[in-house]
Amino acid sequence: MVGTLHIKMILSDKKILEAITQGNIVIEPYDVACLGTNSYDVHLGKTLAVYKERMLDAKKHNTIEYIEIPEEGYVIQPGMLYLGVTEEYTETHHAVPFLEGKSSVGRLGIDIHATAGKGDVGFCNYWTLEISCVQPVRIYAGMPIGQLIYFRVDGDIENFYNKKQNAKYTVRTNKPVESMMWKNKF
């Protein structure tokens, strides 16, 4: 019995441009200088958020407060979770988007996501970042923060994220969005 071989295919710069031209990938604002060999660089938006309470509860709505990053930057601290947001609004209709930190950001000891690096086909929004650091570091609105890579999808899609009844992150906003875990039944 011969098994089916599934190979993950990352879109090249030419395939990303083709998908943009066809409307299958939307990036606003788009800057050709941010297009890499097989990724697109995204930037930190001007708003961070922190949870109001130090102790979080997965079954409750944990509220946040916003912090506008001033022109001189903002120093993030170890032991804190900061929610950030990309400057770029994106839509991905026929590929799986993954958001990874840039190596230059990682070399500053900054993580941009705790677990949520993968988007879903049909995700249409700004990306909320789960930012943490290993030592104090000053960050700035507009700094390159991550890169989107796109994986080709094998097969037809039945449940696009933006059309799912129970999708929790579909309201378009350029502000970080808190966890909606409390909407799950468990």
59-117 pLDDT, tens per residue? 999 999 999 999 999 999 999 999 999 999 999 999 999 999 999 999 999 999 987 78
Flag whether 27 is in a domain: yes
Residue partners of 16: CB distance under 8 A and separation at least 6: 25, 35, 38, 40, 150
* pLDDT at 169 > cutoff 60: yes
Strand-pair partners of 35: 40
Flag whether 32 is in a domain: yes
Flag whether 3 is in a domain: no
What is the sign of the dihedral through the CA atoms of 27, 30, 36 and 37?
Answer: positive
Report residue 171 CA to chain centroid gap: 15
Flag whether 184 is in a domain: no
Q: What is the CA radius of gyration of the chain?
A: 17
pLDDT > 70 in the chain, percent: 96
Flag whether 98 is in a domain: yes
Structural domains in the chain (count): 1
Do 52 and 64 meet the contact criterion of CB atoms below 8 Å apart? yes
- Catalytic sites, residue numbers: 130
Is residue 7 classed exposed, middle or buried when 0-12, 13-18 and 19+ CB atoms within 10 A define those classes?
exposed
Residue in 130, 136, 122 with CA at minimum distance from that of residue 167: 122
**Which contiguous run of DSSP H or E holds residue 20?**
helix 13-22
- Taking the C-alpha atoms of residue 93 and residue 73, their distance in angstroms, rounded to an integer, is 35
Flag whether 42 is in a domain: yes
Residue 1's pLDDT is: 47
Flag whether 161 is in a domain: no
Task: Pick the more confident residue, 169 or 21.
Answer: 21
Q: Which of 119-128, 133-142, 171-180 has the highest mean pLDDT?
A: 133-142
pLDDT > 90 in the chain, percent: 78
- Taking the C-alpha atoms of residue 42 and residue 145, their distance in angstroms, rounded to an integer, is 6
Residue 7's pLDDT is: 62
CATH of the domain at 48: 2.70.40.10
* pLDDT at 184 > cutoff 80: yes
Q: Which domain holds residue 90?
A: 13-53+70-154+170-179
For residues 139-158, average pLDDT = 94
- Taking the C-alpha atoms of residue 22 and residue 14, their distance in angstroms, rounded to an integer, is 12
Flag whether 5 is in a domain: no
